[in-house]
Amino acid sequence: MTIKGLSPGEGIELEWEAPSDPSLNPPKIFIEVLAKVKARPGSWARIRTAQSSTAYTSRQRLEQTAGRSDERWEFVNKKLENGSGAYGVFARYRTPEQMEAAQRKKR
């Protein structure tokens, strides 16, 4: 059922469906990149460059997928220092020593 709005392209839709189940897999575009990051544990890598809202959304999605299934993943956003105004999404697969240090910081 669709209720037309006052302006072209606007409207309210009613569809009887359940939302899809959240996946524990990262978005497909990141799978190959994350495999390369994981192959060099302990090193940071910039895996995406985007405007702030897109970078934030990408980081959040990665934390909810890869980060939830393996706590060794760490993701951060930082504004790039090249004057472009863009943000980087950085990833690192932590070493056991880095995990121990992170656990000590939490205490």
pLDDT tens for 40-67 read: 999 999 999 999 899 999 999 899 888 8
Number of domains the chain is built from: 1
Structure pTM?
0.72
pLDDT tens for 78-98 read: 999 988 899 999 999 999 999
Task: Please check whether residue 88 lies inside any domain of the structure.
Answer: yes
CA–CA separation, 66 and 73 (whole Å): 7
Domain carrying residue 65? 21-106
Please return the burial class of 21, using the count of CB atoms within 10 Å of its CB with bins 0-12, 13-18 and 19+.
exposed
Task: Please check whether residue 10 lies inside any domain of the structure.
Answer: no
How many Å is the Cα radius of gyration of the chain? 19
- Please give the mean pLDDT across all residues of the chain: 83
Kindly report the backbone phi and psi dihedral angles of residue 84, in degrees, each rounded to the nearest multiple of 5, phi listed first.
-80, -20
